[in-house]
Amino acid sequence: MQHGMLSSLLLSVSLISLPIVVSAKEMQSLEVEQWLQDTYLVSKVAKLLEDISGDDIERVERSLDQLTALQQEVVRLLLLEKLEQQSTPLTEKLCSFVQSQLGLTPSYQVLEYGDGYEFSVPAFNFPVVASRILKRWKQDKGRKELALQAERYELNLKTWLSEKPQLKKSRESLLINELEHFSPEALNELTKQLTESNVTSWLPSTPVVVRLAQLSRDSSVYDMLWRMRADYHGQTELLRLSESGDDFSLLQIMNATVNPTLKPYAIKLLTNIEPKPLEVEQFLNGKVAVPVKAKFAQGESDQIAPAWVEATVSGSRQPEDG
C-alpha cells in the first residue's frame, strides 16, 4: 500500500516537474534579444577575444566553464559571430576550438510561427556559425595552397583538375576565381601547359580556357578555345572581345571563324563594328562576299548586317558586270 502511494507520489511529482523543465528550455524572441545584448556577457566576449588573440584557447574554455548553461550558449554565439565578422585567422588551437562547437547541441529553443504552424529553432545557434567559419577557413586554405603551388611552378593543371573527379567542378571554380591574383610569371607557366604540350587527350573546361585567355591575352590560348566545342562561354567571350574593340580583340574574333558554330556569330559581331578598321573590312570581304547571295536566298541574312554586306557584294560584282 505504501509502495503504491510512493509510486503515485513520484509520478505526480514528475508530471508536475515536466512543464517546468520544458519551459526552462523555451524562450521568447524578446528574451533572446535581451540576452544577446546583456552587458556582462558582451564584455565577457570582449575578454575572450583578447585571449584568442594570444592563442590562449585553454583560458577561453576555462572561462566558458564558469558560466551557467544559458550564459554559455549566449557567449558561444556572440564569440563565434565576432570571429566570423572579423575573419579571424584560425590557428591550430582555434580551429580545434571552433570544430568542437559543432559537437555541442544548443539546449534553449525559441518558437517561430508560420502560416498556421509553429516550430522550435535554437535560440543561440552557435554550431551553424562554427560551420560557416570552418567552411571559410577551408576555402581560404585552398586558395593559399593553390596560389603557392602556382607561384612555385608546381601546379600541374592536368593532374590537379582530373585526379579527383568529385572535386573537378569545385577546383575549376576555385581556379577561375583565383587566376587574376597570380603573378604574370605564374600565369604564363600555366598557359604554357596548354599551348606547349599535347593536350588532345585532356582539356580543361571552356570557362577555364576562357579565363586563361582573358588574363594572359595569349593568341595560342584563344586558338585553343576556338578549336573546342562551342558553347555559351565561347559566345560570351566573343561579345566581350567585340566590346573591347582593340586590335588584339578584333583579331581573336576573326580567328574564331575557324569554328563552324561560332563563325556566323563572329561575322555578325564584326559587321556591327563601326567604324571598321581596314583589317576587318578586308577580312569580311574575303569571308562573306562570295557566299552572301546564297545566305540571302536561304533567308539567313539576319546572321550579318544586310546594308554593309549588300554594299560589299555590289562592290565585288562590279568588275564582273564590266
What three-state secondary structure class fits 79? helix
Q: Cβ atoms within 10 A of the Cβ of 104, count?
A: 13
Peptide bond preceding 275 in cis form (omega within 30 of 0): yes
User: DSSP character for 114?
Assistant: -
Give a yes or no: residue 34 inside a domain.
yes
Give a yes or no: residue 106 inside a domain.
yes
- Sequence-distant (6+) residues with CB within 8 A of 312 are 284, 285, 288, 289, 292
Give a yes or no: residue 181 inside a domain.
no
Give a yes or no: residue 122 inside a domain.
yes
Amino acid identity of residue 222, one-letter, is Y
Question: Is the Cβ–Cβ distance between 234 and 228 less than 8 Å?
Answer: yes
Set of cell numbers at residue 74? 549566449
Nearest to 139 by CA among 101, 102, 87: 87
What three-state secondary structure class fits 182? coil
**Angle of helix 263-271 versus helix 232-244 axis, rounded to 10:** 20
The tens place of each residue's pLDDT in the chain, 322 residues long, gives 444 444 444 444 344 333 333 444 899 999 999 999 999 999 999 999 999 999 999 999 999 999 999 999 999 999 999 999 999 998 999 999 999 999 999 999 998 887 778 888 999 999 999 999 999 999 999 999 999 999 999 999 999 999 999 999 999 999 999 999 999 999 999 999 988 877 667 789 999 999 999 999 999 999 999 999 999 999 999 999 999 999 999 999 999 999 999 999 999 999 999 999 999 999 999 875 444 433 433 444 343 334 334 433 333 344 444 3
Domain span at 63 = 25-133
Give a yes or no: residue 167 inside a domain.
no
Give a yes or no: residue 87 inside a domain.
yes
How many domains, the chain?
1
Q: State phi, psi for 124 to the nearest 5 degrees.
A: -130, 80
